[in-house]
Amino acid sequence: MSQSYVSVLNNIQEAYKDKGVEIVGVFPNFYTTDSSIVVFVKEFSAQFKVQRDSSFVFTNLFNAHITPEIFLVEATHKNVLYSGSIDNAYFRAGKRRGKTSANYLIDAIEEVLMNQKIHTQRVEPFGCLIVKD
C-alpha cells in the first residue's frame, strides 16, 4: 500500500511545494538501509524526502502504528494537525476502492492554508502494523 501512494505523495509535493508543504517519507523499521532507500526512491520515482527511522524517533514522536500513515504537522513539529489515511482509496488493508472519493490529506492542507479549522483531524489508517521489536 505504501508503494502505491508514492505517486499520490509526489503529486501533493508538487502541488504544494511553493506553499511551504514538504512531504517526508519515513521508513520505521530496523532493516532499512541507506542503499535500500536509494533503490526505493529510484524504483518508485519518489520526488520527496525519505529517511530511515530505525530508532523509531519519529514513529514514537507521532505515535505512528500503521504504514502508510500520514501526519500533517506544523512547521515547528510540535502539533499534529491531521493524522491517518491519505485518502479513502483503500477500505481495508490491501483492498482498494474502484475510485477515490475523499482526499483527507489534501483537504487538511487546504484548510490550513486558508486558515480554517481542520474539519477531519483523524481518519484511522489501513495497512501494516509497525513492528518495533
CB 130 within 8 A of CB 65: yes
d(CA 53, CA 55): 5
Please state the pTM of the whole predicted model.
0.93
Q: Which residue has the higher pLDDT, 29 or 78?
A: 29
**Mean pLDDT value of segment 34-59:** 96
Model pLDDT, residue 78? 80
Assign 95 a pLDDT band (cuts: 50, 70, 90): confident
With a pLDDT cut of 70, the percent of the chain lying above it is 100
Residue 107 has pLDDT above 80, yes or no: yes
For 67, other C-beta atoms within 10 Å of its C-beta total 19
Q: Which residue has the higher pLDDT, 123 or 133?
A: 123
d(CA 91, CA 72): 21
CB 19 within 8 A of CB 12: no
Residue 75 has pLDDT above 90, yes or no: no
**Mean pLDDT value of segment 3-14:** 96
What's the full length of the chain, in residues? Answer: 133
